[in-house]
Amino acid sequence: MAVITISRQYGSGGDEIAERLCRILGYQYFDKRLMAEIASEVGLSGSEIVDFSEDQHKARSFRERLFGVSRSVSQARVWTESVAGARAVEVVRLDEAQSIAMVQSTIRAAYEHGNLVILGRGGQVVLKAMPDVLHVRIEAPLGTRVRRVHERQQMELESARELVAERDAGAADYLKRFYGVDWADPALYHLMINTGKWDVEAAAHLIVNALNYLPSRTDAGR
């Protein structure tokens, strides 16, 4: 019934490690499809599910920080009812706070299922106090990550460097703004892995082995 949360720097291989873990362990990958499957548990239909992750988030501009501007980042379909009792579907825009609240509710519902890998989305904070959850941080040297992005996305080195910096800044701002934490804080994690020294396969097996030392929900309840 364990759950693994993975926080990763852009280009560190965290996505590949998450996918490899799902194959090794037979776990489900927390994505929009799975969120739709558990939507009924949080009182939503699949069409109403919102997936707002740090991958979609950009660090706020000076103006947004100064005036506390909240962006409209997603939309959802909701049922409305008129005074006469007629029901209709309305598409509403959701700001960042509303979208985050929806993601948090879905993560908590997914936790009850267990056997799950959650990549990003603040899972290390949402499930911080929950038993049977392994929190993992994946990092790599900047030069290594830039080179990987350069090779895999076939872009200029400078463009790859800018993309890595932008995505890292967005992820760091996401965790700081919505959860009030430093995403690189070692205290948030059980395990931190440098993929500049370990490849995807080795990193995945390190995580699998770490699960053996994780107190279970049964142990936590004693």
Q: What is the pTM of this model?
A: 0.78
Q: What is the pLDDT of residue 121?
A: 87
CA–CA gap between residue 216 and residue 222 (Å, rounded): 10
Q: What is the pLDDT of residue 57?
A: 55
- State how many domains the chain has: 1
For 84-131, what is the HEC assignment?
Answer: CCCEEEEEEEEEHHHHHHHHHHHHHHHHCCCCEEEECCCHHHHCCCCC
Q: What is the pLDDT of residue 60?
A: 46
- Checking if the pLDDT of 201 tops 80, the result is yes
Q: Are 158 and 165 in contact (CB under 8 A)?
A: no
- Does residue 187 or residue 63 have the better pLDDT? 187
Task: Give helix 200-211 / helix 14-25 axis angle, nearest 10°.
Answer: 50
- Sort 222 into a burial class: Cβ within 10 Å, 0-12 / 13-18 / 19+: exposed
Provide the domain limits for residue 107.
3-220
CA–CA gap between residue 171 and residue 157 (Å, rounded): 21
- Total residues belonging to the chain: 222
Query: Could you tell me what percentage of the chain is helix, strand and coil, using 3-state DSSP and rounding each to the nearest 5?
Result: 50, 20, 35
Helix/strand/coil for 160 = helix
- Does residue 89 or residue 170 have the better pLDDT? 170
Convert the pLDDT of each residue in 109-122 to its tens digit.
889 889 999 998 89
- The CATH number of whichever domain residue 205 belongs to comes to 3.40.50.300
Q: What is the pLDDT of residue 181?
A: 95
Helix/strand/coil for 211 = helix
- Does residue 36 or residue 210 have the better pLDDT? 210
In this prediction, residue 63 has a pLDDT band, given cuts at 50, 70 and 90, of very low
